[in-house]
């Protein structure tokens, strides 16, 4: 897995009507040296009526949408926030990136890693055979708390799950180094304790 020191984890919520997805919330967290240093969070104005299902799922109301900035403004602000920082997401190459591109913001060249793909590859090892790979399920399994279907919370959970996976890799690397330097002797690390 690619080890990113600095990155932006992002997520968006959308309202799909007549096969068109309208962005209603766009959020991200910026990490530097594995610490959150900034966040971006905005609702997005839309004239398209909000489906009650989406409102119930996300907690986003028509009032929040009606008073929000227009999409062009939010996308410009988000692009400035990201700048040239590598992006990560959770299954974002399936929905979030294409929806952004459809609306004039193509960030595919900055997309460095999909945390869903990593979770999928690790489900039989690091994730103990977990079958449900929804972000909230994986996050809960790893001890990461967050409320799903809020794009800022989802972006944070994505970053924290990524950090946990990096931690697994770091631990494995340490164990491999120990094994190389001490072989199969389980008491080798005790040094001269019994001399």
**In tens digits, what is the pLDDT along the chain, a chain of 195 residues?**
899 999 999 999 999 999 999 999 999 999 999 999 999 999 999 999 999 999 999 999 999 999 999 999 999 999 999 999 999 999 999 999 999 999 999 999 999 999 999 999 999 988 998 989 999 999 999 999 988 889 999 999 999 999 999 999 988 765 556 555 556 666 655 655 555
Q: What secondary structure letter does DSSP report for 108? A: G
* 194, β-bridge pairs: none
Q: What is the number of alpha carbons within 13 Å of residue 67 lying toward its C-beta?
A: 4
What global pTM score does this model have?
Answer: 0.87
Q: Euclidean distance between the first and final Cα of the chain, in Å? A: 42
């Amino acid at each position: 897995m690619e080890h990113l020191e600095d990155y932006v984890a992002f997520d968006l919520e959308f309202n799909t009507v007549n096969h068109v997805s309208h962005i209603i919330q766009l959020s991200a967290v910026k990490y530097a040296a594995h610490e959150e240093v900034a966040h971006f969070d905005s609702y997005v104005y839309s004239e398209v009526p909000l489906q009650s299902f989406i409102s119930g799922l996300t907690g986003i109301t028509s009032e929040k949408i009606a008073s929000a900035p227009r999409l062009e403004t939010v996308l410009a602000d988000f692009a400035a926030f990201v700048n040239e920082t590598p992006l990560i997401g959770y299954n974002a190459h399936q929905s979030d990136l294409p929806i952004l591109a459809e609306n004039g913001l193509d960030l595919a060249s900055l997309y460095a890693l999909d945390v869903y793909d990593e979770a999928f590859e690790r489900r039989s090892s690091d994730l103990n055979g977990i079958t449900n790979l929804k972000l909230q399920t994986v996050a809960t399994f790893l001890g990461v708390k967050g409320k799903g279907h809020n794009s800022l919370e989802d972006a944070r959970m994505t970053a924290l799950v990524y950090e946990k996976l990096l931690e697994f890799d770091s631990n494995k690397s340490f164990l491999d180094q120990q094994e190389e330097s001490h072989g199969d002797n389980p008491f080798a690390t005790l040094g001269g304790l019994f001399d």
